A and B are shown apart, each in its own frame.
Chain A
Amino acid sequence: MARKTQRVVAVTGNEAVAEALRQVNPDVSAAYPITPATDIMQRFTGFVSNGKVKTEMVLVESEHSAMSACVGASAAGGRVMTATSSQGLALMWEELFIASGTRLPIVMALVNRALSAPLNIHGDHSDGMGARDCGWIQLWSENGQEAYDNTIQAFRIAEHMDIRLPAMTCMDGFIISHSIERLEYLDDDVVKNFVGEFKVTNPLLDIEHPVSYGPLILTDYYMEYRKAHAEVMSKVSKIVLDVAGEYEKISGRKYGLFEEYRLDDAEIGLVILNSAAGTSKDVVDEFRNKGIKAGLLKPRLYRPFPYEEIGEALKHLKAVCVMDRADAWGASYGPLFMDIASCLSPYKERPILINKIYGLGGRDYMPEHAEIVLNELAGIAKTGKVLTLKEYIGVRE
Chain B
Amino acid sequence: MKQKGWKELPPGAVVTEAGSALKFKTGSWRAYKPRWIEENCIQCMFCWIYCPDMAIKTKDGKRTEFDYDYCKGCGVCALECPGKKGNKAIVMEEEGK
Contacts and interface: CB of A to CB of B under 8 A. Distances in A.
Given A221-B3, A228-B6, A231-B6, A215 B12 contact: no
Contacts of B22: none
B70 to A, nearest CB: 16
A211 B16 CA distance: 5
Interface stretch (A55-63, A98-106, A172-180, A183-191): A98-106
A103 B16 contact: no
B13 A101 contact: yes
B11 A164 contact: yes
Given A221-B3, A224-B4, A213 B14 contact: yes
Interface in A72-113: 101-104
Contact of A202 (B9, B16, B18, B20): B16
A51 interface: no
Chain B interface size band reads 10 to 19
A211 B11 CA distance: 13
Interface residues of A, number: 23
Interface in B1-51: 3-7, 9, 11-16, 18, 20
Interface of A: 101-104, 164, 201-202, 209-215, 217, 220-221, 224-225, 227-228, 231-232
Nearest to A228: B6
Nearest to A231: B6
A228 B7 contact: yes
A257 B11 CA distance: 25
Given A228-B6, A228-B7, A217 B13 contact: yes
Contact of B9 (A201, A209, A228): A228
B12 to A, nearest CB: 4
Contacts of A225: 6, 9, 13
Contacts, number: 49
18 contacts: A102-B12, A102-B13, A102-B14, A104-B12, A210-B18, A211-B16, A212-B20, A213-B15, A214-B13, A215-B13, A215-B15, A217-B13, A220-B3, A221-B4, A221-B9, A224-B6, A225-B9, A228-B6
Nearest to A98: B12
Given A220-B3, A227-B6, A212 B15 contact: yes
Contacts of A228: 6-7, 9, 11
A211 B15 contact: yes
A28 B13 CA distance: 23
A227 B9 CA distance: 11
Given A104-B12, A221-B3, 10 more contacts: A102-B12, A102-B14, A201-B11, A202-B16, A210-B18, A211-B14, A220-B3, A221-B4, A228-B6, A228-B9
Contacts of A224: 4-6, 9
Contacts of A215: 13, 15
Interface in B39-87: none
Q: Which 4 A-B pairs have the closest CB atoms?
A: A103-B12, A224-B6, A212-B15, A227-B6
Contact of A103 (B5, B11, B18): B11
A345 to B, nearest CB: 27
A393 B45 CA distance: 75
A337 to B, nearest CB: 32
A221 B16 CA distance: 17
Best-surrounded residue of B6, B7, B13, B15 (most CB of chain A within 10 A): B13
A231 B8 CA distance: 13
Nearest to B7: A228
Contacts of B6: 224-225, 227-228, 231
A78 B17 CA distance: 21
B16 A209 contact: yes
A198 to B, nearest CB: 16
A206 to B, nearest CB: 10
A227 B11 CA distance: 12
B43 to A, nearest CB: 34
A148 B18 CA distance: 41
A101 B9 CA distance: 13
